Structures are given as structure tokens and as C-alpha cells.
Amino acid sequence: MNAYVDISKSIGVSEQGIPFWDDLYLDVVVFPNGDFNIKDEDELEEALNNNHIKEDDYRLAKSVMNDLIKEINAKENAIIKNSLKHFEIILMASQGTY
């Protein structure tokens, strides 16, 4: 696995210092060869059907997922590119070539 993206509406830290995120159910797993897998689409559908999320949040999750897929296919996702760069540096350092 190269990256695991948890699609969220918002993230932050509470006044008490506790991290939080508003999970929008969808996750994208990206593999080193560029392939990817969408996880939990069924949970997103179920959440919408059971009124656990609003239609706007459902559309947001789908939109973010689609944008991410475009970035993955174009190899333009900054977070994944940066992760790969750091992985290469770590690999080179472990082999004494950095």
C-alpha cells in the first residue's frame, strides 16, 4: 500500500486537545503501482439511506473521491507524490546511497 486516504468533511483538534474528523465513509487505498481501491461505498450509501448523513455530504464525498481518482490517474496528487519522494530517500539512506 502506498497511501490510505480517509475522505473526511473536516478535521481538527477540540478545545480539550482531542483530535477529531467528520468521516464521510469513503476511503481510497492507493497501491505503489498506481492502482487503487475504493472502500466503504456501501457504507456511504447506507448512511444516506438511513439519514445518517445529508445529501450535501454524500455529494461532497463522491466529488472528493472522483477528484482524487483523477489526481491518482494523472499522478498529480501532491500528498502521494511527496510520500513517494520521502520513501525513496528512506530507501536510499537504508542502502547508504543518500
The reported pTM is: 0.73
**Phi, psi of 7, rounded to the nearest 5 degrees:** -75, 120
Pick the CATH number of 3-94 from 2.60.120.10, 2.40.70.10, 3.10.129.10, 2.40.380.10: 2.40.380.10
pLDDT value for 1: 54
Name the residue with cell 472522483: 66
pLDDT value for 97: 85
Helix (H) or strand (E) holding 94, with range, is helix 78-94
Tell me the pLDDT tens digit for each residue of 55-94: 999 999 999 999 989 988 887 777 777 777 777 888 888 9
Q: Helices (H) and strands (E) in the chain — how many of each? A: 3, 3
Q: What are the residues facing 20 on neighbouring strands? A: 12
Tell me the pLDDT tens digit for each residue of 7-52: 999 989 999 999 999 999 999 998 878 889 999 999 999 999 999 9
